[in-house]
Chain A
Amino acid sequence: MNDKRYVSRTTAIAARVLGDETMVMSAANSTLFTLDEVATVIWEAADGATPLEEIVTKRICTQFDVTPEVALRDAESFVEQLAEHGLVVCSDRPIAQSSSSPRVNP
């Protein structure tokens, strides 16, 4: 059984990095979220292809003073919150990110 977890940003959002933070707006309800420095690292790495555990060990634990166990637990909690708001999707398999261009209406 594959116990890896993959996380992918959805397309129903608007996001922009501002300093160490990332501001994310849900297109579903215009709610604005602010991600701190650690959350921003996870957000940017959430490409649907990299397991969350790898993001934690290679990106979080190398940049921040935290143990892998604590960092993984916090990261899982964080992505669950994002998923509840529709900002990411999670899967136990790699997630193909949408390659389609945004619709352009006249």
Chain B
Amino acid sequence: MQHSFSVIICCAGVGRRLQMAKTKALITIMDRPLIAWQLLALKNVSDIRIVVGYQAHDVIDYVKTIRNDVLFVFNHDYETTGTAASLARAAKGVKDLVLSLDGDLLITPPSLQAFIANQQPLLGFVPVSTEEPSYAALNRETQKIDFFGTPASAETHTVVEWSGLCCLSSSQLQQSIAMGLDKKHVYQLIEPYLPMPSFAINAQEVDTPSDFEAAERFLTANYHLWEEML
């Protein structure tokens, strides 16, 4: 059975670590804001919700120029809440699967489409590549993410970087919210459901100035994967 998908892009944060005085969705990489690259990769998805907070009007004004069918969700408390709160707000009313990605993730269209095609709760990981990664322990045998953090044994687990990309069922999300796990980070919403199936993605997260440089290199190397979406 084909599941219905709601994609939530969390763009409410200030992006302090990047020190560009801009919300990360609007940082320009190869002449386009980061969110433009994401929306190109999501061209075939109809239900897109973008959570806005810091520089909300700038994000809205830009997104409107690309597509007008987006639902903007406000996180007015973006200074005191984290991405989990943004995700919880935007997921309200979703009946089936929720795909959540942060506004700072540059992911190639084929990779994102392959992730979506799995049609099940799933975590997207990359090899450790950013300056300040969110570590996750990938079970070598089951290929599931067993827990967030660094594993004690390299025999049983590989250390990977969780990219912030995840697919959850709406019931999982609602249970986590009911447990009060929606205050800070998305990984806290996910933890009750670990171990969870994982999926290797082709992506680069942008948290710091050196990540930004890596993102420029990533996009240059993978530009051809976006070309047919342009």
A and B: bona fide binding partners? no
Give the A-binding residues of B (Cβ under 8 A). none
